[in-house]
Amino acid sequence: MKRSCQPEILDLLPPEHPDAVHNRRDLRVINAIMRNASWFRTELRAHLRQGERVLELGAGTGEIAMGLNALGVPVDGLDLWPRPSLWPSGRRWHRMDLRSFEGYADYPVIMGNLIFHQFSEGELAALGERLRAGARVILACEPERRKLSQVIFGVAGPLLGANHVTLHDGHVSVRAGFRSDELPRALGLPGGGWRCTCASTLIGVNRMVAVRDP
């Protein structure tokens, strides 16, 4: 499939809309199945240096970041949604569009869970330029763009009780996802002193570890 970015229903809903609340429940289930939080924990243990801070792009309800903070990993959040009620008092929450955020230079480590696929090639190129200002490590979990992923989600979604928002946005996300090393190339990382590794899982997750050489 050719990559295609289309609007997602969730982006049009206020945070407390019942459909948005149900969608967050669905995303918790999807993330658990994908084991994304566990993967981020493993990679941060391997790459985070003493004294460095982490920024999660599109942190949403903050659950992955809060889980990491509970383990002593200093993660701040960046999202258009309000600061979660249980967000740790000692951690920052930046409520703004990640495309206009000016504080990337303060974060050596960037992580994004199911967020990069929401942006066009031009937006990813501009975002990559911002991230490269200060980042040493960039970690990402994204949908793998393939027809099998569409089929799996089409069957599993209803069985898991996903609502119409999740079912629609899930298919949109897969069509906007990445294959192989498309994400690091879209961010302009190859050839700029970055070592990039991309891997795909059987259930349709495309994972990127990008580390800048000293």
Ordered by start, the domain boundaries in the chain are 9-212
Q: What is the pLDDT of residues 146-203, one digit of tens each?
A: 998 898 888 999 999 999 999 999 999 999 999 999 999 999 999 889 999 999 998 8
Q: How many CB atoms lie within 10 A of CB 79?
A: 23
Query: Strands, DSSP E only, in 6-154?
Result: 54-57, 75-79, 93-95, 109-113, 137-143
Looking at the structure, give the CATH architecture of the domain made up of residues 9-212: 3-Layer(aba) Sandwich (3.40)
C-alpha 121/C-alpha 136 separation (Å) is 22
Q: What is the pLDDT of residues 121-140, one digit of tens each?
A: 999 999 999 999 899 999 99
Of 13, 30, 19, the C-alpha closest to 170 is: 30
C-alpha 37/C-alpha 20 separation (Å) is 21
Whole-number pLDDT of residue 10:
93
User: How far are the Cα atoms of 7, 41, 65, 87 from residue 71, in angstroms, in the given order?
Assistant: 35, 9, 10, 14
Whole-number pLDDT of residue 142:
97
Q: Is the pLDDT of residue 71 over 90?
A: yes
Whole-number pLDDT of residue 1:
80
Whole-number pLDDT of residue 191:
83
